[in-house]
Structures are given as C-alpha cells and as structure tokens.
Amino acid sequence: MSWRQTKDAPFYVGYLNAVPKQLVMFLVVFAVCFAGGLGIAALALSSTQNDPGNGGFQWGNRFENVGILELRPYPVLRVPADGETPARTYMLAGQGKRGAFSQAEKNQDGPVTLRGVPVNRGDLTMIQVGRVEAVEGGAPDFTPAGPEPLGRWKLTGEICDGKCYAGAMRPGRGLAHKACADLCLTGGIPPVFVSSGPVENRNFFLMADQDGNLIGDEIKPLLALYVELEGDVERLDDLMVFKVDLAKARILK
C-alpha cells in the first residue's frame, strides 16, 4: 500500500512531495484577503477615534520671558505688552506630571525671568518650566491687569489636564487618557475645560472653583466624560478662566 496525491483530492504530506498547486493558490488568496481585511478593520476602527490634534512640545522654540508670577489659583506668568503684541498670560507646568507650584510660591507676585519649553495646541500654550530667576534691581514697570468678567455661562465639554491636552501626550483627552489626566491633576498640573462651544472665540478655559480657588478631588469623577458645567468666565489677558461649582456638574455621557 502506498500514499499518493491525486489531482482531484490534493493533500499535503511533507515527506512525499511539494505542496499541490491548488493548496498554494488557496493559501495565497487567503493570505491576501486576511491582510486586506486587517487593513480595512484598522481603518474602520481608527476612523471612529477622536482627532488627537496637532499639539506637541515646541523644542525648537525655547521660551524665555520676563514677567510676573501669580497664583490664579494655578501658577501663571503675566507678560507685558510689547509693541503691537498684547499682554499675555501663560499657564505653567513642571517637569513630567508635576505642577509649577514650588517655583511660583518662591517668586509669587515678583518679576522673574522664566525659561522653559512651550507645549502648544492652537490657542492653548502651556509652558513646561525649566528655570525661574528673580529679576534683581531691574523690575519691569508692569502691573498686570485685573480679570475682566465675561458673565455667567453654561458650557458643555470635557475636563482635561492642560499639559497633555496641549500636546505632551496624544490623545490628551477621552477615556484613553483618563488615568493619565488623573495623575497629572494630582501632581498639580492645571485642569482645563475644553468646551464644545466658544466664548469670545476661545474653547479652552483654566478651571477654578466658584470662588477662584484650587479645585480638589471632586474633579476626578468628572474626567474624560462629556459634562455640562455652569459658572463665571473671566478673561486674564488672553487666558480664559472658568470658575465653576462642580457639585452642580451634570454628566451628559
């Protein structure tokens, strides 16, 4: 008795001879279809994801400026107008997932030279602080303007950590980023509210509680969710501040 492959019933036996042509064709067609199917599935899944944005570290555009450090309630640098460039207010963060409280508290309300790396996404710029030095004997003749009230607003959107949303991590929003945002806010990085509708053409807001103070752990259950918040909006140079009562927040989805 001997084993032989026949044309009608191809069967591969490794120690007898080569793979029958019918099986070769089947494997080629299967491999092409399988790879193509994976590609189509990948495109379909990726099309359902939110755009991660074009934010990122601006390593080639190091930041160095003289201004006033304030806690409002998170550290910000107030920079005076320069010619046709209006005064600006920059949010600050430390290295990694830490805030810039220690540098700001040492130099609060005093003129400083601040160096760092901008993290930028559209109108949102966060400065990762590298070095802060007090300006001695040459304080700029500059008094930052007070906040300009813009009324009470009810806004819908998402609470994010300002550094990652600006581009330090992508995506910097959504459920995929919830744990990272929790860690960043615990470390002192300013929270921002990314609104689905603009106020004075701005869609992100530095967050504070309704009295303008730091927000506590009550913010964490609201991260990475689509929520509705109500509060007062203030303009601080080019930075919007949203003062909210999170106890009245409404989760929409």
Residue found by looking up tokens 């752990």 in the block: 217
Residue 197 confidence (pLDDT): 92
Name the residue with higher pLDDT: 164 or 11.
Answer: 164
The pLDDT tens digits for 210-238 are 999 999 899 999 998 999 999 999 999 99
Burial 110-143 (b: 16+ CB within 10 A, else e): ebbebebbbbbbeebbbbbbeebeeeeeeeeeee
Confidence check: pLDDT of 154 > 90: yes
Which pair of tokens denotes residue 239?
A: 């930075």
Q: What is the pLDDT of residue 143?
A: 85
- Measured CA to CA, the distance from residue 243 to residue 249 in angstroms comes to 12
Tokens matching residue 186:
């615990």
Pairing relationship of beta strands 56-57 and 111-121 according to DSSP bridges: antiparallel
Q: Is the pLDDT of residue 6 over 70?
A: no
**What's this model's pTM, rounded to 2 decimal places?**
0.79
pLDDT in tens, 162-217: 999 998 887 788 888 889 999 999 999 999 999 999 999 999 999 999 999 999 89
E strands, the chain, in order: 56-57, 63-71, 75-79, 88-93, 111-121, 124-134, 148-161, 191-199, 202-209, 227-236, 239-244, 250-251
Nearest to 173 by CA among 183, 162, 189: 162
Inter-CA distances, 80 with 28, 199, 247, Å: 68, 24, 36
Cα separations in angstroms, 36 against 32, 39, 42: 6, 5, 10
- Checking if the pLDDT of 104 tops 70, the result is yes
Cα atoms in the 13 Å half-sphere on the side-chain side of 178: 11
Q: Are 99 and 187 in contact (CB under 8 A)?
A: yes
Q: What mean pLDDT do residues 48-63 have?
A: 82
**In DSSP terms, which residues pair with 161 in a beta bridge?**
191
Check: CB of residue 186 under 8 Å from CB of residue 224: no
